[in-house]
Structures are given as structure tokens and as C-alpha cells.
Amino acid sequence: MSRKLIVIAGLILLAGLSRLIPHPYNFTAIGAMALFGGAVIKPRSLAFLIPMAAMFLTDLLIGFHANMTAVYLSFALMAIIGMTVVSKRSVGRIITGSLLSSLLFFLITNLAVWFGNPAYPQDLNGLMMSYAMALPFYESSIFGNLALNSIMGNLFYSGILFTAYAWLESKLPEPICQRA
């Protein structure tokens, strides 16, 4: 295993472990882990595997739920955003990728809540109701609601991961990665 991959995997594992400490709802590192992995890990198969493994290991401790497929699908798509949007790293691209990842997570996971759920009509109105019902669900959260917590969590943890990686890259005697 290369030095680069060890450093990246360590950062992702640390981010994954942050899910185990108390945090506001959806203010987590999952989006940032996928975005970071997609942006910096080569080969691409490992860009999915390493963040997914960190997610799965922490889910073993936290527990699973009925909508895990939607969460993992969102997670995989966030890695693709990392591969495409954030692969040429810049502050603007990292912010854009974080925002896109948050939006994607919100849309996909609430689509899963709506789909086949007898509490919602199975039409466009029911889907929109599902999205609307998700917003105030976490009003007591630190930033006011689920969507904003997800956005702030992605921005916060992306900032930490990409900054830590850049700092390590500048401090280690041999480069841990090649710039794109």
C-alpha cells in the first residue's frame, strides 16, 4: 500500500469515527468522506471502497435502518462528485462539491422515505410533501434543519479533510500525491 493511500485512508477513517461522537442530526462527515475519497484516491475502485468501508464499519456500531440503500447510493454519487467536480482541487470546487453532495443526499434519502410509504400519496404531490416534511423535522438542530445541518457538516468536514491533506502533503519529505 502506498504512503499516499495510507494517509488518505487514515484521514477517512478518522472522519468516519467522528460519526461515533455526539453531533447534531446530519452534521456528520459522511458526505465529506465520499467527496474527499473521490477527489484524491486512485484507483477509482478504491475511491469508492475506502469511504464505503469507513461508513460500513461505523454503521456496524451505530446500526442499520430501512433506508440504508439510499444512504449508500447517495454516498457513491458523492464520490463521483469528488471525482468530477473536486478532482482539480480548489476552495471553490470543494465548496461546490460539498453543496452538491448535501443537496443530493437530501433529495435521494427523502425520495426513499417517500417511495412506497403509505403516509404519502405516491405521486409528485406526495414526494413534495415528503421533502417539505423533512425540512422542519430537525428544527431544534444547531443550524435549524436537516438540510442546513447536512450542508454545514459537509463544508466543515470537507474543509478539515482537504486542509489536513494539503498540510500533510506540504510537511512530508516525499510527496504523498501527484497534483492533477
Query: Is residue 51 domain-resident?
Result: yes
When pLDDT is averaged across residues 72-86 and rounded to a whole number, the result is 93
Higher pLDDT, 153 or 82: 82
Please check whether residue 139 lies inside any domain of the structure: yes
What CATH number is attached to the domain comprising 57? 1.10.1760
Is residue 179 in some structural domain? no
What b/e readout covers 117-152, taking b as 16+ CB neighbours within 10 angstroms? eeebeeeeeebeebeeebeeebeebebebbbbbbbb
Query: Which residue has 470546487 as its cell numbers?
Result: 93
- Structural domain contains residue 176: no
**H helices within the chain, ranges in order?**
3-17, 30-40, 44-62, 68-84, 91-114, 124-134, 146-171
To 10 degrees, the CA torsion angle through 132, 138, 140, 142? -110
Query: Per-residue pLDDT for 79 more than 90?
Result: yes
At 119, is the secondary structure helix, strand, or coil? Answer: coil
Does residue 25 sit within a domain? yes
Query: Per residue in 136-178, pLDDT tens?
Result: 654 544 455 555 677 888 899 999 999 999 888 887 765 555 5
Residue 43 within any structural domain of the chain: yes
Domain residues for the domain of 13 are 3-171
Query: What is the reported pLDDT for 153?
Result: 86
Place of cell 410533501: 129
Predicted local confidence at residue 146, as pLDDT: 53
CB-based burial, 54-92: b 16+ in 10 Å, e otherwise: bbeebbeeeeeeebeebbbbbbebbbbbbbebbbebeee
- Rounded Cα distance between 36 and 137, Å, is 28
State yes or no: pLDDT of 180 exceeds 50: no
- Residue 177 in domain: no
Rounded alpha-carbon distances, angstroms, from residue 85 to 78, 101, 110 = 10, 11, 24
Model confidence at 3: pLDDT above 80:
no
| Span 109-139, pLDDT tens digits | 899 999 999 999 999 999 999 988 887 654 5
User: What pLDDT digit, counting tens, does each position of 11-67 carry?
Assistant: 888 888 888 888 777 778 888 999 999 999 888 889 898 888 888 998 999 888 888
Specify which of 1-10, 42-51, 72-81, 141-150 reaches the highest per-range mean pLDDT.
Answer: 72-81
Q: What is the predicted pLDDT for the residue at 36? A: 94
Query: Residue written as cell 426513499?
Result: 112
pLDDT at 138: 47
Of 7 and 160, the structure prediction assigns the larger pLDDT to 160
In a domain, 105, yes or no: yes
More confident position, 99 or 142 = 99
Task: Please tell me the total count of domains within the chain.
Answer: 1
Query: Please, what sign has the CA dihedral across residues 154, 155, 157, 159?
Result: positive
